[in-house]
């Protein structure tokens, strides 16, 4: 099912830099990145323990790593017999610095018909030790002046479905609207939205994400409580991982199309099983549209993932990442406040 011949700009991008793409069939995600992120994904995929329960390894919480695209024909892709991703390759070769590479990942939005996407950056410390003094100073200030500093996490941006109800006028400076290919309307909250929130108002931001939509109460409760459980599972998992993830993001995604919920009888699995890409699949199976539709339908209704490893490393023997884990714990607290508020 991998047609790499054409990539288009990513439809739903909650935060981050430009230069994000998805394949036309929306199965793949591509982002211009650095060596560090590619090394991190490579290492993460090199020691997969198959016997561990689903959700207890970091790899269960990150998008599947599909390869790297560099200027020139990528050996990885060539060996899979896939057509060259011409546009990306051209773009990569136009970079002044030819070390620029695209990381190819599973598109976390594959299968969603009307996704809401939230990007939350974890950690008080936002810069790498090898950052320039300028960058350290700049990011130090960002942390000090936002909930990154006070709470250890910050909303970086979010895209939600536009509903009949306007968002509060105090947020209008931070929002724009856009449409997807099916003319469904979304509201995008920019990075200044999350920076404007403080310890006391961050809950309003989270509330907007989880509750400003047209889903029935029952489904909202499922989404929020599954999000909480996933955060707890990820928390436990990260206590066992010897990594340093600076400036990593949590992506929280859920489906707004109630027809998709109905089709799956509201069954929303906690941790997503990776069955989208199977290397062992027979050639002849590959472009079967029935298979593809089945894959799309079986995709989760909501999910949580950790992304953005451009400043991440493995630190064997150095225990868990306090900066990351503390941020996650603090977010968990806010999510449980939000749940309590629901039952007022």
Within 44-73, the residues that bind ligand ADP by CB under 6 A are 63
Round to whole Å and give the CA distance between 17 and 22: 14
Could you give the C-alpha distances from 72 to 17, 81, 322, in angstroms and in order?
24, 15, 40
Q: Residue 37, interface with Mn ion (CB under 5 A)?
A: no
The partner in contact with residue 108, picked from Mn ion, ligand ADP, none with C-beta cut-offs of 5 to 8 angstroms by kind, is ligand ADP
Round to whole Å and give the CA distance between 220 and 211: 7
- Tell the smallest beta-carbon distance from residue 330 to ligand ADP (Å): 20
Question: Residues 101, 125: contact at Cβ < 8 Å?
Answer: no
Which residue of 1, 16, 193, 224 would you call a contact of ligand ADP, by CB under 6 A? Answer: 16
Q: Residue 147, interface with Mn ion (CB under 5 A)?
A: no
Which residue, 213 or 249, has its beta carbon nearer to Mn ion? 249
Q: Which stretch binds ligand ADP (CB under 6 A): 68-76, 180-188, 208-216, 303-311?
A: 303-311
CA geometry: angle 154, 157, 160, nearest 5 deg: 130
Which residue, 142 or 342, has its beta carbon nearer to ligand ADP? 142
Within 15-34, the residues that bind Mn ion by CB under 5 A are 16
Question: Of 296, 229, 211, whose CA–CA distance to 269 is shortest?
Answer: 229
Could you write out the DSSP letters of every residue in 101-126? EEEEEE-TTTT-SSEEEEEEEE-S--
Q: Percent helix, strand, coil in the chain (nearest 5)? A: 40, 20, 40
- Tell the smallest beta-carbon distance from residue 10 to ligand ADP (Å): 6
Which residue of 1, 21, 31, 85 would you call a contact of ligand ADP, by CB under 6 A? Answer: 31
Question: Residues 243, 308: contact at Cβ < 8 Å?
Answer: no
Site residues for ligand ADP per CB under 6 A:
13-17, 20, 29, 31, 63, 105-109, 117, 119, 249, 251, 307-308, 310
Site residues for Mn ion per CB under 5 A:
16, 249, 308
């Amino acid at each position: 099912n991998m047609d790499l011949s054409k990539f288009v700009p990513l439809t739903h991008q909650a935060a981050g830099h430009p230069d994000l793409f998805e394949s036309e069939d929306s199965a793949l995600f591509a982002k211009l990145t650095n060596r560090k992120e590619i090394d991190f994904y490579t290492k993460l995929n090199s020691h997969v323990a198959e016997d561990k329960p689903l959700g207890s390894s970091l790899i269960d919480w990150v998008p599947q790593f599909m390869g790297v695209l560099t200027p020139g024909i990528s050996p990885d892709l060539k060996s899979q017999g896939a057509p060259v991703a011409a546009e990306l390759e051209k773009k990569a070769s136009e970079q002044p610095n030819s070390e620029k590479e695209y990381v190819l990942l599973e598109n976390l939005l594959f299968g969603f018909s009307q996704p809401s996407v939230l990007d939350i950056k974890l950690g008080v410390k936002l810069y790498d030790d090898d950052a320039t003094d300028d960058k350290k100073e700049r990011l130090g200030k960002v942390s000090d002046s936002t909930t990154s500093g006070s709470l250890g996490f910050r909303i970086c941006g979010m895209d939600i479905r536009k509903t009949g109800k306007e968002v509060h006028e105090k947020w209008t400076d931070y929002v724009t609207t856009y449409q997807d290919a099916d003319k469904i309307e979304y509201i995008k909250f920019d990075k200044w939205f999350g920076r404007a929130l403080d310890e006391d108002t961050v809950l309003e931001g989270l509330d907007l994400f989880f509750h400003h939509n047209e889903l029935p109460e029952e489904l909202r409760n499922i989404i929020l409580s599954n999000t909480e459980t996933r955060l707890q599972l990820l928390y436990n998992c990260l206590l066992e991982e010897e990594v340093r993830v600076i400036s990593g993001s949590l992506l929280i995604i859920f489906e707004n199309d109630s027809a998709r919920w109905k089709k799956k009888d509201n069954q929303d699995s906690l941790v997503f099983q990776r069955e989208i890409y199977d290397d062992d699949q027979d050639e002849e199976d590959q472009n079967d549209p029935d298979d593809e539709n089945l894959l799309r339908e079986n995709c989760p209704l909501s999910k949580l993932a950790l992304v953005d490893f451009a400043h991440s490393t493995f630190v064997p023997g150095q225990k868990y990442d306090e900066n990351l884990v503390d941020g996650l714990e603090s977010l968990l607290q806010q999510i449980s406040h939000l749940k309590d508020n629901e039952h007022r």
